Structure 1
Amino acid sequence: MDDNVTVINHPLIAHKLTLMRRKTASTQKFRSLLREIAHLLTYEITRDLELTTERIETPLEEMDAPRLAGKKLCFVSILRAGNGLLEGMVELLPSARVGHIGMFRDPESLEAVEYYCKVPADIGERRVIVVDPMLATGNSAIAALTHLKKQGARQIKFLCLLAAPEGVAALREAHPDVPVFTAALDERLDEHGYIRPGLGDAGDRMYGTK
């Protein structure tokens, strides 16, 4: 595995992901588990955030206490499924700025088609975490990262729930400077571009649209 690809191996994440994979999981349960996993993934992907110190007064005495330094984070959700991870991440870091990129996958070509983009004007000054539950073919992620770089983003990470080896390889080839973080690396893509064994279509399961 590429050194720039991290599979976040944590018992709580593995357990919750198993519950999500079950085809009997309700829309409510799926959405709730995705939000919970987002908390855990955010904890891991932000380990390298820079800190400074601030002089504060506790109930007992003054101290130099750590706090996040400088311009902080921007989370960019690849619509629509990315919002499932985004909700949990914003709960953990409510001060983060948020951007959205609307993509859909053409069912014939499997290529990504962009229909919307709105990101903070100062995105080039922030650490950017792009989120999408599924890294399947990689086409949507590649297109989103290309667009964000054109907007000035320089410090970018990509976070997903599940990844297929084919999607990881495609993303690493197109954007070798972008670290990839995932909760699990599954076996393969099928002929329809779905991750196997996977968990189905994350957006449909999250919103109950299928």
Structure 2
Amino acid sequence: MGSAYDPVLVGFTPGETRLTGSLGHMRLHVVDHPLIAHKLTQLRRVETTSNVFRDLTRELVTLLSYEASGDVGTEPVQIQTPVATMTGTQLAGPKPLVVPILRAGLGMLDGMTAMIPTAEVGFLGMARNEQTLDIVTYAERLPDDLTGRHVFVLDPMLATGGTLVETIRFLKRAGAAKVTCICLLAAPEGIRRLEEEVGELDVALYVAAVDERLDENAFIIPGLGDAGDRLYGLAE
């Protein structure tokens, strides 16, 4: 239930998969839930309008964020209820940092902050240089030091994996302790690239589905089209 791919064909099944790299492992979580499967199906429909697409994206990310935040740091706290004193739980410092990748990642931000409203928000913009094919950072608004921080990266589509690989490396160089990536869809090619190139950096990836493959233009098949265009009405 909730699977949009043939696990025999691509080798990824719903639940957690540990992909072992040369120095460590990447944890892949394909979140199998009927509400996620239903909302993702509506998101894929070509007739889904931009305003509905944005609403569905927010709802999907909220559900995925619940799963992805299961290992966020906590600490005990003494509180007074109306009838007694007790030891409760609160999020520990430093605050989680949410980083949407511009531009399409912005459409996922509300869903994530609805789940963790106290999180700080940073931004990264990355693009491919068409001459060198390298991924370059064209915009960045992050704390200077990410030491000890748990960073949640938002990017709707994991296709070739190039942008996400460079984002993870960027955050790890800045000192991030944990990097958890949340994507709506992933292609097997992108997952394998992450495992091969950043698998040793202790990365977790949460997705609603792993699709079949990439086409010759690096679009995910069956996919949902260009997420940025569909979020902001440019595909209509």
Same fold (TM over 0.5): yes
Other-structure match for 1:209: 234
Which of 198, 208, 226 matches 1:183?
208
Distance 1:67 1:35, change over 3 A: same
2:215 partner letter: D
Please state whether the residue corresponding to 2:209 is helix, strand or coil.
strand
Q: Which runs of 4+ in 1 moved over 3 A?
A: 105-113
Which of 192, 199, 215 matches 1:169?
192
User: How big is the shift at 1:12?
Assistant: 0.6
Which of 55, 59, 72 matches 2:95?
72
Q: How many residues align?
A: 210
Distance 1:47 1:165, change over 3 A: same
Would the aligned equivalents of 2:30 and 2:209 in 1 still touch at CA under 8 Å?
A: yes
Other-structure match for 2:46: 23
Other-structure match for 1:97: 120
**Residue 86 of structure 2 is aligned to residue 44 of structure 1:** no
TM-score scaled by structure 1? 0.93
Would the aligned equivalents of 1:78 and 1:102 in 2 still touch at CA under 8 Å?
A: yes
Would the aligned equivalents of 2:145 and 2:174 in 1 still touch at CA under 8 Å?
A: no
User: How big is the shift at 1:130?
Assistant: 1.0
Instruction: Find the aligned partners of 1:93 and 1:168 in 2 and give their Cα distance.
Output: 26
Please state whether the residue corresponding to 2:118 is helix, strand or coil.
coil
Other-structure match for 2:56: 33
Instruction: Find the aligned partners of 1:141 and 1:74 in 2 and give their Cα distance.
Output: 16
Instruction: Find the aligned partners of 2:68 and 2:124 in 1 and give their Cα distance.
Output: 21
RCO comparison, higher one (Cα < 8 Å, 6+): 2
User: How big is the shift at 1:99?
Assistant: 1.2
Instruction: Find the aligned partners of 1:11 and 1:113 in 2 and give their Cα distance.
Output: 38
TM-score scaled by structure 2? 0.84
1:6 partner letter: H
User: How big is the shift at 1:87?
Assistant: 1.6
Instruction: Output the aligned Cα RMSD.
Output: 1.7
Other-structure match for 2:109: 86
2:206 partner letter: F
Higher alpha-carbon deviation: 46-55 or 187-196: 46-55
User: How big is the shift at 1:106?
Assistant: 5.5
User: How big is the shift at 1:142?
Assistant: 0.8
Instruction: Find the aligned partners of 1:146 and 1:126 in 2 and give their Cα distance.
Output: 14
Other-structure match for 1:131: 154
User: How big is the shift at 1:143?
Assistant: 1.3
1:141 partner letter: L
Distance 1:106 1:136, change over 3 A: farther
Distance 1:109 1:6, change over 3 A: farther
Instruction: Find the aligned partners of 1:68 and 1:112 in 2 and give their Cα distance.
Output: 34
Would the aligned equivalents of 1:110 and 1:193 in 2 still touch at CA under 8 Å?
A: no
Report sequence identity in percent. Answer: 47
2:39 partner letter: K
**Residue 77 of structure 2 is aligned to residue 54 of structure 1:** yes
